[in-house]
């Protein structure tokens, strides 16, 4: 017996509520499967769902109930107004990272008016969301990106092609592939979750998203420590570095910068939820 759209939505909402999942996930999945906007879906609530759509919807609901993020089920996530392909090889882009890109674009435009001669690198690019967004927002900027995972780079390259962004991708560990480069901009959303937080996290994250993109030692600062050793080898004398951080880590990351670079100017930026989420460091050319 065929299901009407409202019946499918009510079933999914009740199912997810009982399972402790987001009750709105059913609507997102059904909109994806029917290729309808929210207004179209609401206008057609009493229409019958084709049997093949119901079968796909039921399967997707069960997958999400078991913990599979809906972005992996749908195969994409929206980021900075664009659709990025995602799978279990890459971290799902978050709104906080959109704020990192927004802040970096603003700083580049203020500090470096002539972007044609500038180069930027995104470290640990994952889906390529940061690198591709930077290139599309600042077309004159030469953008490179790296990831240690070839599977992640395959996703990033596909996103760059689909969105028309000319980004140069390199496989390698942190800044090590770039020891013969000098950059005006280094940006990264590195792993920063302490291993001690893992038992407190949702299995939707820990069972599906790549751990190499999430965890960074017992205090979550391992990658920032490595950055401090490698940054001097790749930065121009005048440069900007922007990191996404975990809430509550700003003081520690600022201390790492100040210990490694005595003359650096640092700024902590808070996200839309009022959490310390970004640290920017500006390196100023010394004048006599």
In tens, the pLDDT along 138-167 reads 999 999 999 989 999 999 999 999 999 999
Instruction: Please check the confidence at residue 87 and state whether its pLDDT lies above 80.
Output: yes
The closest of 284, 285, 246, 251 to 268, measured between CA atoms, is 251
Q: Does domain 90-283 have CATH number 3.40.50.150?
A: yes
Q: 66 and 20 in contact (C-beta within 8 Å)?
A: no
pLDDT in tens, 107-135: 999 988 777 789 999 999 999 999 999 99
In the chain, pLDDT over 70 holds for what percent of residues? Answer: 89
pLDDT of residue 288: 42
| 52 or 202, which is more confident | 52
Q: Please state, rounded to an integer, the average pLDDT across all residues of the chain.
A: 88
CB atoms within 10 A of CB 196: 12
């Amino acid at each position: 017996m065929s299901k009407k759209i409202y019946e499918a939505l009510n079933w999914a909402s009740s199912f997810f509520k009982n399972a402790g999942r987001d009750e709105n996930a059913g609507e997102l999945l059904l909109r994806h499967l029917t290729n309808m906007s929210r207004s179209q879906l609401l206008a057609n609530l009493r229409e019958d769902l084709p049997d093949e759509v119901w079968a796909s919807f039921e399967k997707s609901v069960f997958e999400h109930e078991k913990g599979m993020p809906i972005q992996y089920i749908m195969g994409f996530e929206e980021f900075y107004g664009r659709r990025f392909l995602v799978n279990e090889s890459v971290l799902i882009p978050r709104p906080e990272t959109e704020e990192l890109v927004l802040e970096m674009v603003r700083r580049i435009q203020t500090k470096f008016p002539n972007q044609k001669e500038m180069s930027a690198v995104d470290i640990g690019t994952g889906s390529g969301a940061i690198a591709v967004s930077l290139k599309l927002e600042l077309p004159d900027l030469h953008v490179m990106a790296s990831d240690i995972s070839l599977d992640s780079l395959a996703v990033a390259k596909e996103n760059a092609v689909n969105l028309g962004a000319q980004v140069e991708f390199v496989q390698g560990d942190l800044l090590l592939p770039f020891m013969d480069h000098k950059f005006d901009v280094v940006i990264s959303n590195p792993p920063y979750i302490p291993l001690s937080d893992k038992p407190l996290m949702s299995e939707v994250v820990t069972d599906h998203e790549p751990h190499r993109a999430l965890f960074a030692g017992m205090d979550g600062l391992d990658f920032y420590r490595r950055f401090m050793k490698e940054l001097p080898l790749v930065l121009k004398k005048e440069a900007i570095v922007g990191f996404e951080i975990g809430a509550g880590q700003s003081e520690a990351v600022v201390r790492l910068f100040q210990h490694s670079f005595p003359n650096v100017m640092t700024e902590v930026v808070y996200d839309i939820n009022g959490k310390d989420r970004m640290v920017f460091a500006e390196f100023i050319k010394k004048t006599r």
